[in-house]
Structure formats: C-alpha cells, structure tokens
C-alpha cells in the first residue's frame, strides 16, 4: 500500500501554475491587465501559434530594474502588502501569481523602462523559479514588454487536449474586446503571425467601442446612460450601454457584456435579470446587445472565488437589480422622446425587411384610452395606409406605425399592470380539453369545472375577453400557453385592433398617444418593431434640398 507523503515543491508549483494559466487567452488576459494597472494608453499584442509565442507591449509607467528582477518571483506584487488589502482591491491584478506561473510554463522575458528620467531599459530572462537568469540593457520606448515563448512546453498533455486554433484565437479576441469596453480610452493593436489582426481605436465611452467590436452595429443603434446607485452604506455607479431591441439583437447571448470595477466578470444572476427585463422587447429566441459596467466599493466584492477572478460575489445584488431595471426601462422610454438625428438608407432597408405580413385578427376596434396626456413626441396622426399603418408627423420627420402591434403593446402593459378575471353570466363551454389545458387555464386564475363528457365550463374569463364573440377561441388559445406572461401576450394579441380595420383620425390619435406612454414602445411583446422613423434630414438629402437654385435648375455656367 502506497503511503501518503507530501508532494515535491516543484510538482506543487507546476499544478498551481496550471490553474492560473490554463490557455493562451488567460496569458493575454493576465498580461494586459498588468498593462492597464500600469496606466497604459496603448497596448500592442503579438501572437504566433504552434508553438505559442505571445508578446504584450504597453506604454505604461514601466518598472525600475530592482522591481523587474523581483516581478516573476512567487507571490510578488506591488498591489498588496497586508491582509486587510485583500478586501480593498482597486487594481485588476493583485495576487502576484501570473508572471511566476508563466516562468514555470514557458520561457519568460521581461523588458521595461520607467517613464521619467531613464535613457534605456533592461531585459530580464527568467528561469523556472521566476528569478533572473540574465539581465541586459536594451534601447526601448518607456513602458513594458513581456514575451512568453513555448507556452506549456512542460505540459505536453495540455497542448494535445487544447481546443482548435480558431477557438483559442477567438477566446483571445473576445477577452480583448471585453476589456476594451471597460477601458475605452486605450488603443489596442493586435498582430497575428506577423500580420495585422485587429485594431480598436479609443473613444470617450464604450458607445464608441461597441461598434468596433460588433461590426454590424451602428452608433445610432445604441443608447447609453449612467446613474448613481444608493446602497445601504455607500453609493455605487452604473453604466449601461443598450442596443435598441428593434434594431439589434443576436442569435446567441454573446452580445451581453458585464463588468465590475473595470474587469469582465461572470454574474449569472445579473445576466438573467437583464434577460427578464428585456424579455418582451425582443423577438423570440433572440438575445440583447448590452454592456453593463458596475462600479462598487471594494469592500462589497469578493474576488477570491476562482483563479481568473471572473466569478465574484457582489453584495446588495437586489439593489443593483433594481437599478438595472430602472436604467433599461428609462433608456427604452427616452430613446423615443429624442429620435436620432438621421436614419441611413441602409438602416431603413434593414427595418423594412423586418416587417412581417399582418395576420387576420378576429377582434373589434378598441375605443382606446382618453387623451389625458400629450404624446411625448407630439405625434400627429395624418392618415392610414392600407388600413394597417398609421402615418404620423413628429417635429423631426415622419413615423409609420403598424396599428395592430402598437395597440398590442398598449394592451400588454395594461394587462401586466392590471390582470383582472371577471365572472360570466353564461359559462363558456369548451370541448375536448386535455388535462394539461385545464391546468393551464386554472394556473392563470380562471375557474374551470367539468360540464359533461369531454366538456368543460369556464366560469371566469379575463376582462378584455368579456362579451366577445370569439371568447371561446381565445380561451382555447390561452389553454395552450405556458405561463401567465404568455397568457397576457396572447390576450393582448387577440384583443388588439386588427390589421385591415379602418380607423378615424381621432381613434388613430388616441392610439398613438397611448402607445407613446408605454414603457417599451420600440417593439411589441413578440419583439417586432412597431415604428419606422424617417427624419426630416433624410428627406432633405433624398430630395437634394441642400442644392442651390442655380445648380438645381441647370443654370451653372
């Protein structure tokens, strides 16, 4: 029987290094985080694969020779000094493990020159323990250059089990993209196999970075907001960058970015809250484009849940959830108060392609709400097009609104605020309901009793369906839904003004006013865009109103 004995120190250190550095992407992450901590405004990444060669160069503060000698030794850092500092972390890196781990997993070279007062820098080649094996002077610009060669050469099994090269390169790229959103003032340049890979130019905020990260998104598709968050014992800061749901969404949740104090993090609860808040603003099976950056006091964060610090514990999550809900709803609402200054023809074409043919709805025109408040955009109904679209004027141009889905949004939010079940004098009899259908109707609050062989009597119905001729058909549809929210959507869809219904100007105006007062006017509960906006500036460009009279009449000499 083999006896228990302590592992050799070299084996322990190699295992620990493998936990900190598990992929080329983790190498890049650790090195660029050090560069950001050094105050870099420009970071250059050079990558060569098979075997992996990674070099990160920055124009940060740089290191003096004494610090350079110590940088790769075990648990050496300038960011912590006492135990209390573990709960007061203001930097991206702080454990002092990354460079030491790299010295054990690769051939590591550190070159640096401090910013002020030195004419040259030094290069330190590190041995397997992180100690300098050679030190040479070098001519270089102020900043730091770290070179990692032959990554994972002591661990051939990790090289053999690694993902495919495109997957590893994508992980590197996505890591840089996420950090760039957190630090928009930095210029990023990436070189792959001695050829330009990608470049990210700086901007005032993530608003100018996200269109570089996701090339199909335009700045006009995005809205940003910032707000102070009041916490029980302090305050925090929330930055939200949201892609308007009627303009941009994704097949996968790869457009959701979350950051905490300048670092990309994984907070599943927060991501789930974002999806819930935007659930009825997006098309089915689509995901939002959103970047949320939280700034919290270090004492509220526990960074010590995973080696890469991506999984964290954040206190007062409920307060942050409420702040995110408010920020998203306010952003969606205000995006229609102030329409963008221009809409490109390409974007209009994309929106027109999103339009779906209208269905046939067995409902009567609704009376609409009374005009108690003025429309936020002062929309004025002008005409009805094909008994389906409302043509409206606003101070910046024209809008084309589909009447059915605009009314559907109004009714859905009213039902969310006031879901009411009413008794009926004569029960609605439904034939051949399955047990699951009966349970579904009971789950949403309706009273359902057996009425005979394969017959069921529904004695209470949702208020919008009361006294409607198609009430039985609507209840059959509700019985096939999944939850109360799905029932609300189905009820709103069935009771909304149908396409093909002739509306008077008065009814159109009431509908516009009610729609403008909704919380999420961009889309219907199914995620379809409601309004197509054509601004006056676009009309002026199309009709060439900027031409002078002489040119427009061919009088130019």
Fold of 345-538: formyl-coa transferase, domain 3 (3.30.1540)
Q: Write out pLDDT tens, residues 254-264.
A: 999 999 999 99
Prediction pTM value = 0.74
63, 71 contact by CB (below 8 A): yes
CA dihedral 85, 88, 90, 93 (to 10 degrees): 50
Give the pLDDT score at 226: 95
Residue 80: what are its φ and ψ, rounded to 5°?
-135, 145
Calpha distance 221→531 (Å, rounded): 14
Instruction: Give 347's contacts (C-beta < 8 A, 6+ positions apart).
Output: 218, 220, 221, 247
Give the pLDDT score at 336: 64
Q: Write out pLDDT tens, residues 119-134.
A: 889 999 999 888 899 9
Give the pLDDT score at 371: 40
Calpha distance 422→462 (Å, rounded): 6
Q: Given strand 389-394, what is the order of strands in its sheet? A: 380-385, 389-394, 397-402, 531-535
Which residues sit opposite 302 in a β-bridge? 313
Residues of the chain where predicted confidence (pLDDT) is lower than 70: 1-20, 78-88, 94-96, 306-309, 336-377, 482, 545-557
Give the pLDDT score at 12: 57
Residue 176: what are its φ and ψ, rounded to 5°?
-65, -45
Q: What residues does each domain of the chain span?
A: 9-200, 208-337, 345-538
Fold of 9-200: Heat Shock Protein 90 (3.30.565)
Which residues sit opposite 46 in a β-bridge? 55, 191
Give the pLDDT score at 184: 96
Q: Report strand pairing: 455-462 vs 235-243.
A: unpaired
Give the pLDDT score at 351: 40
145, 57 contact by CB (below 8 A): yes
Give the pLDDT score at 469: 78
The size of the chain, in residues, is 557
Fold of 208-337: Ribosomal Protein S5; domain 2 (3.30.230)
Give the pLDDT score at 544: 73
Give the pLDDT score at 253: 92
Give the pLDDT score at 541: 77
């Amino acid at each position: 029987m083999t006896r228990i004995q302590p592992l050799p120190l070299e084996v322990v250190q190699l295992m620990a290094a493998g936990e900190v550095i598990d992929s080329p992407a983790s190498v890049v992450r650790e090195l660029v985080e050090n560069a950001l901590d050094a105050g870099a405004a420009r970071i250059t990444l050079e990558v060569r694969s098979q075997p992996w060669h990674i070099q990160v160069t920055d124009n940060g503060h740089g290191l003096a020779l004494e610090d350079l000698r110590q940088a790769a030794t075990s648990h050496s850092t300038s960011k912590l000094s006492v135990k209390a500092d573990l709960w007061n972390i203001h930097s991206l890196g702080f454990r002092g493990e990354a460079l030491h781990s790299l010295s054990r997993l690769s051939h590591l070279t550190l070159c640096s020159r401090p910013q002020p007062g030195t004419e040259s820098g030094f290069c330190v080649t590190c041995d397997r323990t992180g100690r300098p094996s050679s030190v040479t002077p070098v001519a270089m610009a102020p900043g730091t250059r770290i070179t990692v060669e032959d990554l994972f050469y002591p661990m051939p099994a990790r090289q053999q089990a690694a993902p495919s090269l495109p997957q590893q390169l994508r992980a590197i790229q996505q890591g840089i993209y996420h950090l760039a959103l957190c630090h928009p003032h930095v210029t990023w340049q990436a070189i792959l196999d001695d050829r330009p890979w990608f470049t990210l130019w700086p901007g005032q905020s993530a608003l100018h970075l996200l269109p570089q990260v996701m090339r199909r998104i335009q700045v006009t598709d995005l809205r940003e907001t910032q707000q102070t968050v009041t916490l029980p014992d302090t305050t925090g800061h929330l930055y939200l960058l949201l892609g308007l749901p009627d303009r941009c969404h994704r097949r996968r949740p790869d457009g959701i970015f979350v950051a905490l104090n300048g670092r990309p993090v994984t907070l599943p609860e927060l991501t789930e809250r974002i999806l819930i808040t935007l659930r009825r603003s997006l098309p089915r099976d689509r995901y939002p484009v959103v970047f949320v950056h939280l700034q919290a006091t270090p004492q509220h964060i526990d960074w010590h849940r995973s080696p890469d610090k991506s999984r964290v514990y954040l206190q007062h999550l409920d307060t942050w959830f409420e702040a995110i809900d408010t920020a998203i709803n306010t952003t969606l609402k205000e995006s229609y108060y102030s329409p963008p200054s221009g809409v490109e023809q390409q974007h209009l074409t994309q929106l027109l392609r999103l339009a779906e043919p209208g269905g046939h709805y067995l409902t009567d025109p609704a009376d609409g709400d009374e005009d108690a408040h003025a429309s936020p955009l002062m929309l004025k109904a002008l005409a009805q097009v094909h008994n389906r679209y409302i043509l409206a004027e606003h101070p910046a141009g024209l809008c084309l609104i589909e009447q059915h889905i605009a009314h559907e949004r109004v009714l859905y939010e009213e039902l969310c605020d006031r879901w009411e079940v009413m008794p009926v004098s004569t029960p609605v009899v439904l034939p051949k309901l399955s047990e699951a259908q009966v349970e579904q109707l009971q789950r949403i609050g309706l009273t359902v009793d057996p009425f005979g062989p394969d017959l069921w009597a529904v004695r209470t119905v949702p208020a919008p369906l009361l006294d409607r001729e198609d009430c039985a058909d609507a209840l059959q549809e509700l019985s096939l839904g999944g939850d109360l929210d799905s029932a609300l959507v189905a009820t709103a869809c069935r009771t909304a003004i149908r396409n093909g219904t002739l509306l008077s100007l008065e009814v159109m105006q009431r509908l516009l006013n009610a729609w403008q007062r909704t919380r999420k006017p961009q889309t219907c509960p199914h995620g379809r865009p409601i309004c197509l906006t054509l601004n006056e500036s676009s009309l002026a460009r199309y009709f060439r109103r900027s031409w002078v009279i002489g040119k427009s009449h061919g009088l130019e000499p």
